[in-house]
Structure 1
Amino acid sequence: MRTLLLGLALLLALPTWAAAETDRPNFLVILCDDLGYGDLACYGNPTIKTPNLDALAKQGMRLTACYASAPVCSSSRAGLMTGRTPSRVGVYDWIPADNVMHLRQSETTVASLLQDAGYDTCHVGKWHLNGKFNSDEQPQPGDQGFAHWFSTQNNAAPTHANPTNFVRNGEPVGKQDGYACQVVADEAIRWLKSGRDDEKPFFAFVCFHEPHEPIASPDELVAHYGDAKKKGEALYYANVENMDSAVGRLMSAIDQLKLADNTLVYFTSDNGPETLNRYRSAWRSHGSPGPLRGMKLHIYEGGIRVPGILRFPGRIQPGGESDEPICGLDILPTLCELAGVAAPTDQTLDGASFAKSLQGEKVDRPALLFWHYYNAIGPAKVAIRDGDWKLVAHVALGEKKFGGNFRPEMSQAIKQAKLSTLELYNLADDLAETNDLAAEKPEVVARLAKQLQAKYDAVLAEAPDWEMAQK
Structure 2
Amino acid sequence: MKRTGIIASLLVGIGLLVGCQSKTQKTDAQSEEKPNVVIIYMDDLGYGDMGAYGATELKTPNFDKLAEGGVRFTDGHATSATCTPSRYGLLTGVYPWRNDQAKILPGTAPLIIDTAQVTIPKIFKEKGYHTGIVGKWHLGLGTGVVDWNEHVKPGPNEVGFDDAYIMAATQDRVPTVYIDNGYVDGLDKNDPIEIDYQNNFEGQPTGKENPELCTYQMWHHGHNNTIINGIPRIGYMKGGEAARWTDVDMADHFLAKAQAYVKAHKNQPFFLVYTMQQPHVPRTPHPRFEGTSGMGPRGDVIVEADWCLGEFVKTLEEEGVLENTLIIFSSDNGPVLNDGYYDDAVEKLGDHKPAGALRGGKYSLFQAGTRVPFITYWKGKIQPKVSDALVCQVDILASLAELVGSDAQTMDSEPLLDVMMGNSDEGRQSLILEATSRTAMRSGNWALIPPYKGAKINTQVNIELGNEMEWQLYDLSSDISQQKNVADENPEILEELIAEFERIRGKEYSNVQNLELK
1:214 to 265, 270, 282: 282
1:36 maps to what in 2?
A: 46
1:451 to 471, 493, 500: 500
Which of 1 and 2 has higher RCO (CA within 8 Å, sep 6+)?
A: 1
The answer as to whether partners of 2:279 and 2:298 remain within 8 angstroms in 1 is: yes
Deviation track 1:341-381 (CA, whole Å, cap 9, x = no partner) reads 1123xx52x1212212236334464x721113345xxxxx3
1:265 maps to what in 2?
A: 327
CA distance in 2, matches of 1:459, 1:208: 36
SS at match of 1:371: strand
Matched, 1:236 2:236: no
Matched, 1:275 2:290: no
Once the 2 structures are TM-superposed, how far is the Cα of residue 131 of structure 1 from its aligned partner?
5.3
Matched, 1:335 2:384: no
Matched, 1:155 2:218: no
Once the 2 structures are TM-superposed, how far is the Cα of residue 101 of structure 1 from its aligned partner?
6.5
1:108 maps to what in 2?
A: 118
What is the letter of the counterpart of residue 59 of structure 2?
A: K
> When the two structures are superposed, what TM-score results if normalisation uses the length of structure 1?
0.80
Matched, 1:188 2:252: no
Deviation track 1:80-129 (CA, whole Å, cap 9, x = no partner) reads 01111001133431111223562222321111111122111000000011
SS at match of 1:252: helix
CA distance in 2, matches of 1:48, 1:266: 22
CA distance in 1, matches of 2:179, 2:274: 15
CA distance in 2, matches of 1:191, 1:12: 33
The answer as to whether partners of 1:11 and 1:359 remain within 8 angstroms in 2 is: no
CA distance in 1, matches of 2:73, 2:422: 16
Deviation track 1:159-191 (CA, whole Å, cap 9, x = no partner) reads 9xxx95111112212255652222111101101
SS at match of 1:325: strand
Matched, 1:67 2:77: yes
CA distance in 1, matches of 2:372, 2:508: 24
CA distance in 1, matches of 2:423, 2:270: 26
CA distance in 2, matches of 1:208, 1:202: 19
The answer as to whether partners of 2:85 and 2:103 remain within 8 angstroms in 1 is: yes
CA distance in 2, matches of 1:56, 1:47: 19
1:310 maps to what in 2?
A: 376
The answer as to whether partners of 1:395 and 1:420 remain within 8 angstroms in 2 is: yes
SS at match of 1:356: helix
**Equivalent residues in 2 for 1:76-87, closer than 5 Å:** 76-87=86-97
What is the letter of the counterpart of residue 49 of structure 1?
A: K
CA distance in 2, matches of 1:115, 1:425: 42
**Equivalent residues in 2 for 1:232-381, closer than 5 Å:** 233-276=295-338, 279=340, 281=342, 283-284=344-345, 288-318=354-384, 320-344=385-409, 347-348=410-411, 350-357=412-419, 358=421, 360-363=423-426, 365=428, 368-375=430-437, 381=438
2:184 maps to what in 1?
A: 172
SS at match of 1:64: strand
Once the 2 structures are TM-superposed, how far is the Cα of residue 16 of structure 1 from its aligned partner?
7.0
| 1:246–1:98 CA distance, 2 compared to 1 (3 A) | same
Once the 2 structures are TM-superposed, how far is the Cα of residue 427 of structure 1 from its aligned partner?
0.9
SS at match of 1:372: strand
CA distance in 1, matches of 2:370, 2:452: 18
1:429 maps to what in 2?
A: 478
SS at match of 1:107: coil
Aligned length: 409
Matched, 1:384 2:433: no
> When the two structures are superposed, what TM-score results if normalisation uses the length of structure 2?
0.73
